[in-house]
């Protein structure tokens, strides 16, 4: 009935354009939604498998640590507490890394997909600058991934900090918390 009344007012050409526009909108919404959701599901599934393996390794390390602690009967309670805290930190670190990976995916791609879908409806105005920003954000995800993955590793963060400190000509701290200018007074011994 809607098609007939629409043809009655517009003629056949207008109805055909309406049908083509509707098909385009349906295809675009489906394409963007499906590609985003499929990528998100694969990403989540893969990282959850990685998290499962990481937790399995953490449990193995925890078992070995606990067996070692049991063998060391006269171990100080603070050492035991530190070991238990390290086990907890290790489990949380894996979860935090995977949450970061999934979060950066959502942060970079969701605005682009939502913008593309909302653009299909002329009643909702979108600033052209926002369209460009959302597209650049989506493209920047691929460029940022190696840095995000690397910055979550302690050794990489330490090396980056050292390089930045050298560039800024700051002295970096060694493991004891003292800078390179710190000198220990050594009393010469008679030989």
Q: Two tokens at 9? A: 């007012």
Let me know if residue 40 belongs to a domain: yes
Give the single-character DSSP code of 125: -
Let me know if residue 102 belongs to a domain: yes
Let me know if residue 182 belongs to a domain: no
How many structural domains are present in the chain? 1
**Dihedral, CA of residue 176, residue 178, residue 183 and residue 184, to nearest 10:** -40
Let me know if residue 174 belongs to a domain: no
Domain span including residue 47: 2-167
* Gap between the Cα atoms of 54 and 74, Å rounded: 31
Write the DSSP assignment of 16-60 as a string of letters: HHHHHHHHHHHHHHHHHHHHHHHHHHHHHHHHHHHHHHHHHHHHH
Let me know if residue 126 belongs to a domain: yes
Let me know if residue 60 belongs to a domain: yes
Let me know if residue 51 belongs to a domain: yes
What's this model's pTM, rounded to 2 decimal places? 0.59
Q: Two tokens at 140? A: 């920047």
Per-residue pLDDT of the chain (191 residues; tens, 9 = 90+): 444 444 444 555 568 888 888 888 889 889 988 988 998 999 888 888 888 887 787 777 777 776 676 666 566 667 767 777 877 787 788 788 888 888 888 998 999 999 888 888 888 888 889 888 988 888 888 887 777 777 677 777 788 788 888 888 775 554 444 545 444 444 444 54
């Amino acid at each position: 009935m809607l098609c007939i009344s629409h043809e009655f007012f517009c003629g056949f050409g207008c109805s055909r354009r309406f049908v083509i526009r509707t098909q385009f909108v349906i295809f675009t919404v489906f394409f963007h939604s499906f590609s985003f959701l499929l990528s998100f599901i694969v990403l989540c599934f893969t990282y959850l498998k990685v998290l499962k393996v990481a937790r399995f390794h953490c449990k193995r390390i925890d078992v070995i640590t606990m067996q070692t602690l049991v063998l060391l009967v006269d171990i100080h309670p603070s050492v035991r507490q530190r070991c238990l805290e390290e086990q907890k930190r290790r489990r949380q670190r894996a979860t935090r890394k995977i949450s970061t990976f999934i979060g950066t995916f959502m942060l970079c791609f969701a605005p682009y997909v939502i913008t593309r879908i909302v653009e299909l409806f002329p009643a909702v105005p979108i600033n052209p600058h926002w369209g460009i920003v959302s597209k650049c954000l989506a493209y920047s995800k691929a460029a940022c991934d190696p840095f995000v993955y690397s910055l979550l590793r302690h050794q990489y963060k330490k090396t980056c900090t050292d390089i930045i400190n050298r560039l800024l000509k700051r002295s970096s701290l060694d493991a004891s918390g003292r800078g390179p200018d710190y000198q220990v007074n050594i009393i010469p011994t008679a030989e």
